[in-house]
Structure 1
């Protein structure tokens, strides 16, 4: 009898290993298809099977999956990476496996099209415009009114996203986006948005069911760096109901509701305003497991392979995480205190994204993070205190790069 295999398209720094290990716990053999398997370091560390294949080429993926079927029973196909998730839907459709609607995913991943659909569905969103050149960006910013948020129409991890508070910052960031410093996967299209002011939240959903709402603290402007988050967020019953209601409106408008979705909000004076709908798990799904006992990665895989999932809460705690951001560019000489922080009562994990002797080039997005601390306790205040104690134990040294002329 052939081994049961789960095909994973690409991976992510945050969730790729979680999918591999969850598949193994379910008795499946995870096989990653990647344009460059070496970029996912955990594949070698975990001795995971992987194949090099162009994940932007549907025919090549169909051919590789067909080849693998000679050895394995492929019971599911999925991904933790948004960029290839529409392709996952196409593959599932081809092989008659459960999967997301590729058209819905594709529409959702284009932030401008997503905005257009949500606006038609009367979902509360910031005012927005689309531009492809500097003159149109300047005009759109004037129409909306400063400050505005400039972002690529397609992208993740806050790459290329910036708050622009005056016309000079608008011009500067437009130049950055259009003059080759930002990598575009398609012709440049810039989204200009009203800056919705208020506390930041995102909601985790599986299918049409709300799992919980997470509250986040961001770093200082002009960038949107997630520094800390607490799950579940401290909200009133009315605030929670309003966010859940708007979330379901998003799913209906965009044709989602199969598998995981996370939706970002700002809670403004006029209520919850949708910042972004992401047709995938959040980058850090572990707090839901720590707080409620719901392993969202495992439950997603169960759906993918046609098994019955279980989204029932097993307990109720307060979980949270803190991201470690460098304060300068340069060569990371050392990072210490990790084992001491990990040994603290309540700390669930200390995960580093980089190793010593790694060059640090900050780009103002969430990939700048050096690592992540996750903690859990019976209440929010205690969890925040644990995170702070852990952060205080961790230190590092970065030698700045020499300036020109030195």
Structure 2
């Protein structure tokens, strides 16, 4: 079921049946489901979204209505609002950055002054690092607040902006399924002030004690938000005071986390999620132990992206499991400071961390692109 099935080109390629329906209209979705139920034996119901996480609230409500296994919609809704999420985590004693909520430019600047620069200024709703920026000066805070309040990233009414302490340290992500930690990885970002992903690796290079601390805090997050069912991924920074929770996402992580976890541990998160959805037990035991990494391809300038070369040569290297390019040649490219700055990725897996790193660099070096500056 989709508001616009044509946006998913793989539906036709895979022969997947689709129904066009306004996915923001719960009654319309119930009606479609009831109609399908007359002719199909429906085993379960789930959803996915790269951006609009409110789809998981709808999924939860539909599952409750039709008596199917699924997430608690109230818990998903609470996690969807970053401010409410912060409040619940703080109340439960989960380590989080210092934060303030702001509804106008004056409040944003006051919050930044109270917390101390640098701060991260971001919308209360959203994903993919859209509208998220590190601000190192008072002028940067004021400028980004004006940008967000200008409505380019905010569709909701107040409270629109979260101002929080910049938690400095290694970025760590924990992928959960039904209250169990399946895999812990690390990530790197491109240059500030934005948070555009550069590289992801599984497993994270952590001691047994550090792994245990991440797992412990992750479970505390799920308890605090009432998220006991299904997938979740939790983002951390390992700071001077240990692991600090940046965000809890009550859903499967997007590409490349599931692919990297399958390569590193032999656990297919998508399959295991589907098992839960249809009322079966999932098996999250690791089948093997390897190292898997992904590098994101991000141009460093705006212009006409004329051609991308070397992808097939990179894909032919033993150990390279995927080279994926998201954009077509002769496409205008303008950096946004979020997920839209990424034009592709390379994924590599091998028995050792050093070998994976070397293969990844070798593959990435083969991929190149030509960008011609826009005519002014």
Shorter-chain TM-score category? over 0.9
Q: Which residue of 1 aligns with 2:366?
A: 393
With normalisation by structure 2, the TM-score equals 0.96
Q: Matches of residues 194-233 of structure 1 in structure 2 within 5 Å?
A: 194-233=165-204
Task: Say if 2:327 is the partner of 1:354.
Answer: yes
Task: Say if 2:119 is the partner of 1:148.
Answer: yes
Q: Helix, strand or coil: the match of 1:204?
A: strand
Q: Which residue of 2 aligns with 1:272?
A: 243
- After TM superposition, what 4+ stretches of structure 1 lie above 6 angstroms from structure 2? none
Q: Matches of residues 229-378 of structure 1 in structure 2 within 5 Å?
A: 229-283=200-254, 284=256, 285-378=258-351
Q: How far does the alpha carbon of each residue in 1:359-402 deviate from its partner, in whole angstroms, 9 at most, with x for none?
A: 21211002221001111000111111111111100011122221
Considering only aligned residues, what root-mean-square deviation do their CA atoms show, in Å? 1.1
Q: How many Å apart are 1:185 and its aligned residue?
A: 4.5
Higher mean C-alpha displacement, 129-138 vs 42-51: 42-51
Q: Which residue of 2 aligns with 1:158?
A: 129
Q: How far does the alpha carbon of each residue in 1:103-133 deviate from its partner, in whole angstroms, 9 at most, with x for none?
A: 0000001000000000000000000011111
Equivalent residues of 2:123, 2:154 under 8 A apart: no
Equivalent residues of 2:304, 2:333 under 8 A apart: yes
Equivalent of residue 153 in structure 2, options 168, 178, 182: 182
Task: Say if 2:32 is the partner of 1:59.
Answer: no
Going by fraction, where is strand more abundant, 1 or 2?
Answer: 1
Partners of 1:188 and 1:330 in 2: CA distance: 36
Q: How many Å apart are 1:83 and its aligned residue?
A: 2.8
Equivalent residues of 1:86, 1:106 under 8 A apart: yes
Partners of 2:231 and 2:112 in 1: CA distance: 34
Q: How far does the alpha carbon of each residue in 1:51-83 deviate from its partner, in whole angstroms, 9 at most, with x for none?
A: 111111100110111121122111111112223
Partners of 1:202 and 1:300 in 2: CA distance: 18
Q: How many Å apart are 1:182 and its aligned residue?
A: 2.2
Equivalent residues of 1:76, 1:304 under 8 A apart: yes
Q: Helix, strand or coil: the match of 1:374?
A: strand
Q: How many Å apart are 1:47 and its aligned residue?
A: 3.0
Equivalent residues of 1:178, 1:188 under 8 A apart: no
Q: How many Å apart are 1:42 and its aligned residue?
A: 2.1
Equivalent of residue 50 in structure 1, options 8, 18, 33: 18
Task: Say if 2:89 is the partner of 1:118.
Answer: yes
Task: Say if 2:61 is the partner of 1:94.
Answer: no
Matched residue count: 371
Partners of 1:383 and 1:282 in 2: CA distance: 22
Q: Helix, strand or coil: the match of 2:354?
A: helix
Task: Say if 2:46 is the partner of 1:73.
Answer: no
- Structure 2, unaligned runs of 5 or more: none
